[in-house]
Amino acid sequence: MPRNMAHPSLVRNGIALSVSLLAAGWLGLSGPRANGPVSAGIRQATVRRMDLTEMVRATGVVASAVRTVIRCPVENIRKKAATTVIALAPAGSRVRAGDVICRLDTSEYEEMVQRQSVVVAEARADCRRAELELEAAQTALREYQEGRHRLESTEIEGRVATAKTEANRLAERLQWSRRMLERGYASRAQVADETGALQRAQFEADRAKGELRIYREHGYPRALKEAQSRVESTRADFLYQSARLLRHEERLAQYQRQIELSTIRAPHDGLLLYAHKPKRNVKIEEGMQVHQNQELFYLPDLSRMEVQVLLHETVLGRVRAGMRARIRLEERPGELEGTLATIEPMPLVDRRESSSGEVKNFMGRIPMDARARTLHPGASAEVVIATHQRIGVVTVPAEAPRREGNRDVCYVVGPAGLEKRPVVLGLATAAWCEVIEGIEEGDVVALEPPDRP
C-alpha cells in the first residue's frame, strides 16, 4: 500500500468523516525514533484510549417547511386568453398575510360585469312576470273550485228543479182538465193544449237533467283540468325564469369575483419569491401576460424553517431520524443545532448530462426553531451529523492499520524492531480508527510500512 494512505475502511464512497477528541492533550506522534535498525526513521504513535465519534458531513440548503405556490387565480374567459400584470410587490420582500403582492388588469371583466348586469335585470323582470302569472293562475283555480263551479252547478240544478216542478204542475192541470171534460165543463181542445204543454215541460225537464249530467261528467272536469294546466304551465315558466335568473346572477357574481381575484394578496406571512422559469423563458414582471393557474410566486413560511440536507445513498445505513446535527451557514457565523426529523423514502435522481449514471441522494429534513426565523431561504448549509460514538476505546491513527491479504494488520514497535500483528478494527473516521483486538493501550505502532525505501 502506498505511503501515508489511510486504510480502505476509513474512507467510504467519498463521504467525509471527522472525529471528536474528548481526551485532551493526546497526540502521541513522534518523529524518527532509534528502536532498532528496522524501525529507525519511521513515524510512530502511541496507542491510547479516547472518545471516538463518527461524523457524516453533507451539504444542505435552508428552506421553508411550508412553501405556498401562488398561481394566477383569474379565469381565462376565452381560449388562449391572458391577463396583464399591472403591478408587483418587490421580489425578496417580506410580506404579511393580506398584503397586496400583485394586481392584474380588470378592464375586460369590468365591461363584462356591466353587460351582464343588464342581462340580470332583464332576467329578473321576466322572472317577476312569470311569478305574477303563476299567482293569477293559482287564484283562478281556487276561484273556479270554490266559487264559479258551485255557482254553475247550482244554476243548472235550479233549472232542473224548475222544469220538474213545471212538468208536475202541468200534469196535475191535465188530470183536472180531463175530469172536467168527462163532466162537460172543458173542451177537447183545452185538453189537447194542456197535453202539449205537459210534453214540452217534460222535455225541458229531461234536457235540464241531461245538461246537469254532462256538466258533472264532462264540463266540470274539463274546466278544472284547464285551470290546473294553466297553473302548471305558469309554474314551469316561473321555474325556468328563476333558473335563468340564477344562472345569470351566478355568472355576474363570477365576473365580479374575477375582479376581486385580480388583486392577489399574501395568504400568510413569508418571503416573496418570483416564480421565474428561465428554461421556458418566463420572467415575472409588470406588463407580462399570465394565464389561469400559471405559477406567479413562491411564498415560504418563515415561521417554519428547516434545513434540507442531501444524504448520499451510501450513508443511509449509518444515518437515521432522531440523530443530532450541527449546522454551519454561509450567511452567518457560528453553528446551529438541530435534530434530523425525517428522511424521504424516495431518492432525488440527478440525471444531468455531465453526470455518469444516476447519482442518488435522499432528502433529510432538520427543523429549525423559532429563533431561526431570520434565516434566508436558499442559503447554503454544511451539516455534520453524529452517527456513532464510542467512549474510551483503543484508537490508533488512520495511517497505522494496513490491509494485507484478507486481514488487517498493524506494525508494533518492539525491542527487536517492527512486529506485525493482526488486528480487528471497529469504528473508523478520516483520522482515527478503533482497534478491538490485536494491540493494547500503550503499544507503539508504526505509521509507515516497513518496506519504505
- CATH level 3 topology of 8-55+387-446: 2.40.420
Instruction: Name the least confident of 23-32, 43-52, 90-99, 365-374.
Output: 23-32
Give the mean pLDDT of 19-43.
44
The region that residue 287 occupies, defined by phi over 0 for left and psi between -120 and 50 for alpha, beta otherwise, is left
CATH number for region 300-383: 2.40.30.170
How many CB atoms sit inside 10 A of residue 126's CB?
A: 17
| Whether pLDDT at 1 is above 60 | no
Q: What is the mean pLDDT of residues 354-377?
A: 74
In three-state secondary structure terms, 133 is helix
- pLDDT at residue 27 tops 60: no
Q: What is the mean pLDDT of residues 282-310?
A: 89
**pLDDT at position 80 over 80:** no
Grid coordinates representing 227 are 285551470
pLDDT above 50: residue 402: yes
| pLDDT higher than threshold 50 for residue 167 | yes
Task: Give yes or no for residue 240 having a pLDDT over 50.
Answer: yes
Q: What is the pLDDT of residue 370?
A: 64
Whole-number Å distance between alpha carbons of 128 and 273: 52
Q: Which residues contact 148 (CB under 8 A, 6 or more apart)?
A: none
CATH code of the domain made up of 67-105+262-299: 2.40.50.100
Which residues, in sequence order, are bridge partners of residue 423? 408
Question: Span 391-416, mean pLDDT?
Answer: 89
Which range among 108-112, 134-138, 191-195 shows the weakest confidence by mean pLDDT?
191-195
The phi and psi torsions of 426 (rounded to 5 degrees) equal -120, -125
Is the whole-model pTM more than 0.75? no
Q: Compute the residue count for the chain.
A: 453
Q: In this predicted structure, what is the pLDDT of residue 5?
A: 37
CA distance 407 to 38: 23
Q: In whole angstroms, what is the distance from residue 46 CA to residue 435 CA?
A: 13
> To which residue does cell 360585469 refer?
113
Band of pLDDT at residue 451, cut at 50, 70 and 90: low
Q: How confident is the model at residue 9 (pLDDT cuts 50, 70, 90)?
A: very low
Long-range CB contacts (within 8 A, 24+) of 39-42: 39/413, 39/417, 39/418, 39/446, 39/450, 42/413, 42/418, 42/446, 42/447, 42/448, 42/450, 42/452
pLDDT surpasses 80 at 37? no
CA within 13 Å, CB half, 332: 10
